[in-house]
Amino acid sequence: MPVTPQLRCCDASGCRSAGGQALRRALEEARDAAGLTAEALAIKPVGCLRLCGSGPLVACDGPGPSQLFGGVAPEHAGALIAASVAANDGSAAVSDDPLAAHRLDLSDPFFALQQPVVLEGCGQVNPESIDDAIAFGTYAQLHRVLQELTPEQVRDEVRRSGLRGRGGAGYPTGLKWDTVALQPPGPRYVVCNADEGDPGAFMDRSVLESDPHRLIEGMAIAAYAVGAERGFVYVRAEYPLAIERLRLALQQARSRHLLGNHIDGTSFNLRLEVRVGAGAYVCGEETALLLSIQGQRGMPQPRPPFPAQSGLWGAPTLINNVETFTAVPAILRQGGHWYAGIGTEHSKGTKVFALSGAVVNTGLVEVPMGTPLRTVVEVIGGGVPDGSPIKAVQTGGPSGGCIPAERLDTPVDYESLLELGSMMGSGGMVVMGASTSMPEVARHFMGFSVNESCGKCVPCRAGTVQLAQLLDRFVEHRATPADMERLDALCQMVKVTSLCGLGQSAPNPVLSTLRWFRHEYEAACREPAACVAAGGVER
Amino acid sequence: MSVVTLTVNGQDVAVPAGASLLEATRAAEANVPTLCHLEGLTPVSACRLCLVEVEGSSKLLPACSTAAAEGMVVHTHTPRLREYRRMTVELIFAEGNHVCAVCVANTHCELQDMAVTVGMDHSRFPYQYPQRLVDATHPQFTLDHNRCILCTRCVRVCDEIEGAHVWDIGSRGGQCHIVAGLDEPWGQVQACTSCGKCVDVCPTGALFRNSDTTAEKQPNTTLPALLRTAREQRRWHNQ
Amino acid sequence: MIPTPPAAKLRLATVWLAGCSGCHMSFLDLDEFLFDLAEKVDVVFSPVGTDVKIYPENVDIALVEGAVANVDNLELALQLRQRTALVISFGDCAVTANVPGLRNLLDGGHDSARAVLERGYLELADATGQLPFAPGIVPELLPKVLPLHEVIPVDLYLPGCPPSAERIREAITPLLAGERPVQEGSAMLRFG
């Protein structure tokens, strides 16, 4: 990026809710008051600057290293403008810096240990400006791909990168692309799953709000690679800003002929549209999502056939998550080998996590796969605010589980998390302190699954209801040892017999807490004798 | 016609290529139980009773919607499958209001039969007693949601065989229920042809003729398959 | 749980909780088998066999008809469990709460006792309607009607509304020989 003096103001949902827009207006007024023009000091709305918990965030760029300020109120606008001027004319910082308390240390591990690939442009580009995106290099890979590479070569590169689906299941992306591309001739579709519904997950929202053009570029490259001419981004309605920016970005891309017919003067055509979900979590499940796009009730279907064989309107359909598509331009720019050089043997590249809960640094984190969980939550996250030890880390939302403190040295990759009874999921990571009761955590997530079950198959529809009631008994300390057996057995049954991933993983929060924190469940049992005497009549 | 051969409970069977695992298990007389499945309607794999074990597959597979493949080794009644089936039926009983003694379908109910098949002598899961309604607005038929198990046979027979698509599903999770038309009283749905196929295929007493009282319902579940075959093979008497 | 084959006669009880007594009628339908039964058991507590009011100690087998719907049902259920070797949930009301359990549909099951009394004694009454209240005389309803096994551990289930005399005989005969009946198939298991 050129070193024009500028202030980058985070204008994503997190900082907006902390007053980011008022701050930006105040900055513009202060700049005018200081007699500066927009050319002399640009004040640019950008996407996520990562440390969401300290919003609103403002980054100050000049000839020297960038500075970052957090929790700044409109009354600090004058001081920020002054600091920006000082940074640019090289004058020394004033001794009693009014912003001292707001200055964030960019050498802090929270920033220093991050490796932005998917988030490269987040916090750098103005998400509402295609010019800014293009100046940052977005669409350069689409251009190169269309002019220089065959679809096979693109797929080779993606296969080489070892990229796996970032929606949670970790299916090899290259293999999926090949499967779609190699179907018999006919129409194909690309679909982006942006129905991010896990509680505690906000990675996809941040990408959509911060760098929508990067996603469009990734999807266009994918469409070219698999031979699709039409695609959809399925975004949940709960993300209004993301939808607004994505729609704007699509419009801008169309007006620059980066979408539409004969893109970049080639024979490649692509129509991309936004489809807004209606609030069902299950529509994040791919077969339900595809039905929803087609205007039907979002209910999972038995697989096979997989969407890659028969998806939208029966045509082969490539469906990937936001993060997966967004990683693609960087992979093509730097090469699949480069990407495969990051991460572990079976989990390549970087992963974005949304860090929240009982942790000092709440925000968005992109780190190489294989980074120990401890590094993420203790070093990058800064541990529990009161300095007490971490009790557990929840990953994978209602489909994942709680990883106990003694396993924090586990590297974060698909297989290791599965082994611990959790899963990567889409990337939500909730840190839990000592006071968190594990049966309560399990009940919370089970309540989520009860509400979000689509109701199609019996184990998920009726089993989760019974599981939630069993968990109530533990939370309310009226469980019996027989309830414990019932809980174990029903968890297994729901996990093994449910139709789709939602039901199959709904028991995971219970199973993982039963595995690592069984004593908390046992402590919640009444004495068996007391149970018989009271007869469970108050049920 | 090409044929695939596979093993069901140790017995070799041959079925036409494209046949489902369910057909294969029937060829082996394995008696895999089903509730949502009905010959002639698209399988939906919703009740999960037909799950079977296939060697080499880490997951249990629904026999109704899985294609039989050459060389498959299938087990239909392992101890865990039996246990899961019983739990499934208990869950169905517990989530609705199924009182066999006072039901129109008593003695002709597939759910009642299924309890016997899976050996359910009681439910280990407490009954939920959900608050559900009865739609008696249709002049000939009644829908009692208390007895509905959401198999969606009515939805499918009306859509796929009758072509009226009167029925669909509303809400989600435990609140799921069958809706008529645009969630209207059944009697007001003009698309309904009053053909009664939904009543005939309903496995329980959820849909019944108004003239039927306790234990009088006589379902006819072979209709969809007959009609489908007749259409596909143009086997009409008057041709 | 299953009593060993007796040197002396087995002590049999039949209990009537919240049910219509249809299961007991079916029991009486055992007809001449009742003579065989009388040779092998002493009926020590039964609304159709004795006039004993207090549930005795050391009962071998109890056939318990009916759901648990009021405080008397509850007290008797807890008592009989402590005094009985083998408890049989006898008929659909005991096994599932069945028809008596239908009142659980009122008031979302939270306090269906209040709801059912108000419905029966106030809403459907003429101007003189009043809620029955006679502590110690009319047993108080429990908020929710429960199947027997949700109140006490049950050893054997005999569903049916009512279980046919044949089904009862097939269940009892092996027990008299100290064996557990095979509870399989339509003849033994069907609800309704």
pLDDT digits (tens, 9 = 90+) for A206-235: 999 999 999 999 999 999 999 999 999 999
φ, ψ of residue B15 to 5 degrees: the values are -130, 155
Is B122 in contact with C89 (Cβ distance < 8 A)?
A: yes
* Contact yes or no for C142 and A537 at CB 8 A: yes
Residues of A with CB under 8 A from a CB of C: 532-533, 535-537, 539
Q: Supply B128's token pair.
A: 């939920």
Query: B48, A496: Cβ pair inside 8 Å?
Result: no
Q: Which fold has domain B3-77?
A: Ubiquitin-like (UB roll) (3.10.20)
Q: What pLDDT score does C6 carry?
A: 52
**pLDDT digits over A243-295, tens only?**
999 999 999 999 999 999 999 999 999 999 999 999 899 999 999 999 999 99
**Residue A33 has which token pair?**
């008051």
A168 pLDDT band, cuts 50/70/90, is: confident
Q: Mean pLDDT over residues A361-381, rounded?
A: 96
Mutation site for C-interface testing, chosen from B117, B122, B133 by largest number of C Cβ within 10 Å: B122
- Structural fold of domain A130-340: Rossmann fold (3.40.50)
A432 in Cβ contact with A394 (< 8 Å) = yes
Contact B46 A462 (CB under 8 A): no
Q: CA-CA distances (angstroms) from residue A508 to A23, A307, B81?
A: 43, 26, 21
pLDDT reported for residue C136: 85
Using CA atoms, how far apart are residues A377 and A362, in angstroms rounded to an integer? 10
Best of B34, B125, B148, B153 to mutate (most A CBs within 10 Å, chain A): B125
Q: Higher-confidence residue: A5 or A251?
A: A251
Nearest CA in chain C to A483: C150
CB of A422 closer than 8 Å to CB of A515: no
Q: Are strands A230-235 and A189-194 parallel, antiparallel or unpaired?
A: parallel
What band does A533 get if pLDDT is binned at 50, 70 and 90? very low
Asked if C151 has any chain A CB less than 8 Å from its own CB, the reply is yes
CA B144-B147-B148 angle, 5° bins: 90
In this prediction, residue A440 carries a pLDDT of 97
Q: What is the CATH number of domain A438-533?
A: 1.20.1440.230
- Choice between B68 and A536, residue whose per-residue pLDDT is larger: B68
Predicted confidence at residue B1, as pLDDT, reads 72
Q: Which CATH architecture has domain A350-433?
A: Roll (3.10)
Q: Residue C46's pLDDT band (boundaries 50, 70, 90)?
A: very high
Q: What is the distance between the alpha carbons of residues B125 and B98, in angstroms, rounded to a whole number?
A: 14
CA–CA gap between residue A398 and residue A328 (Å, rounded): 28
C contacts of A533 (beta carbons < 8 Å): 78
Q: Which residues of C touch A532 (CB under 8 A)?
A: 81, 152-153
**pLDDT score, position B234:** 85
| Fold classified for A6-106 | Glutaredoxin (3.40.30)
Contact with chain C for residue B120, Cβ under 8 A: yes
Q: Which of B172, B175, B178, B204 to mutate to test the interface with A (most CBs of A within 10 A)?
A: B172
Pairwise CB contact (< 8 Å): A461 & B124: no
pLDDT of residue A429: 94
pLDDT at B196: 97
Nearest beta carbon to residue A497 from set B88, B94, B124: B88
The neighbours of chain B, by the rule of 3 or more Cβ pairs under 8 Å, are A, C
B60 lies within 8 A of chain A by CB: yes
Give the B:C interface size as CB pairs under 8 Å: 68
Q: What is the pLDDT of residue B133?
A: 96
Give the closest of A297, A461, A486 to B173, CB-based.
A461
Reported confidence tier of residue A1, pLDDT bands at 50, 70, 90: very low
Query: How many angstroms separate the CA atoms of A515 and A418, rounded?
Result: 13
Residues from chain C that touch A536, judged by Cβ atoms under 8 A, are 150-151
The residue in chain B having the minimum alpha-carbon distance to the alpha carbon of residue A467 is B125
Matching fold, domains A350-433 and A438-533 = no
The alpha-carbon gap from A537 to the nearest alpha carbon of chain C, in Å, equals 6
Report residue A21 as tokens: 């827009």
Nearest chain A residue to C145, by CA? A537
Report yes or no for ipTM above 0.90: yes
pLDDT band at A88 (very low <50, low <70, confident <90, very high): confident
Q: In this structure, are residues A140 and A233 in contact, taking their beta carbons and an 8 Å threshold?
A: no
User: Mutating which of A485, A537, A538, A539 best tests the C interface, going by the most C Cβ atoms within 10 A?
Assistant: A537
C104 interaction partners in chain B (CB closer than 8 Å): 127, 129
Partners of B93 on chain C (C-beta within 8 Å) are 96
Decide if C74 touches A, using CB distance below 8 A: yes
Contact B126 A486 (CB under 8 A): no
Q: What is the pLDDT of residue C73?
A: 97
> Residue C108's pLDDT is what?
74
Q: In this predicted structure, what is the pLDDT of residue A527?
A: 65
Shortest Cα distance, chain B CAs vs residue A501, angstroms: 12
Assign B51 to helix, strand or coil: strand
Could you tell me which chains touch chain C, where touching means 3 or more CB pairs under 8 A? Answer: A, B
Give the model's confidence band at A539: pLDDT under 50 very low, under 70 low, under 90 confident, else very high: very low
Chosen CATH of B84-221 out of 3.50.50.60, 3.30.70.20, 2.40.30.10, 3.40.50.11540: 3.30.70.20
Distance between A497 CA and the closest CA of chain B, angstroms: 7
Q: Are residues A497 and B92, on separate chains, in Cβ contact within 8 Å? A: no
Please name the member of C81, C146, C153 whose beta carbon is closest to the beta carbon of A537.
C146
pLDDT, average across residues A495-510: 96
Q: With an 8 Å Cβ cutoff, are B127 and C96 in contact?
A: yes
* Contact between chains at B116 and C147 (C-beta distance less than 8 A): no
pLDDT band at C3 (very low <50, low <70, confident <90, very high): low
The per-residue pLDDT for C23 is 98
What does the domain layout of chain A look like in residue ranges? 6-106, 130-340, 350-433, 438-533
Percent of the residues in chain C that have a pLDDT greater than 70, as a whole number:
96
Bridge partners (DSSP) of residue B61 are B52
**What is the average pLDDT across C88-92?**
98
The whole-angstrom distance between A466's CA and the closest CA on chain C is 15
Which tokens sit at C50?
């004795």
Residues of chain B with pLDDT under 70: 237-239
Taking the Cβ of residue B175 and every Cβ of chain C, the question of whether any pair is shorter than 8 Å is answered with no
Q: Exposure string (b/e) for C120-137, b if CB count within 10 Å is 16 or more?
A: eeeeeeeeeeeeeeeeee
Q: Which chains touch A (3 or more CB pairs under 8 A)?
A: B, C
Q: Is the pLDDT of residue A534 over 50?
A: no
Task: Please tell me the pTM assigned to this model.
Answer: 0.93
Give the DSSP letter string of B95-156: HTT--GGG-TTTTS-HHHHHHHHTT-SS-SSPP------EE--SSSEEEEGGG-----HHHH
**Is B131 within 8 Å of chain C by CB?**
yes
State the Cα–Cα distance between residues A74 and C115, nearest whole angstrom. Answer: 59
Contacts of residue C98 in chain B, CB cutoff 8 Å?
99, 101
For residue C33, what pLDDT is reported?
96
Domain chopping of chain B, boundaries: 3-77, 84-221
Most confident of A30-44, A144-158, C96-110: A144-158
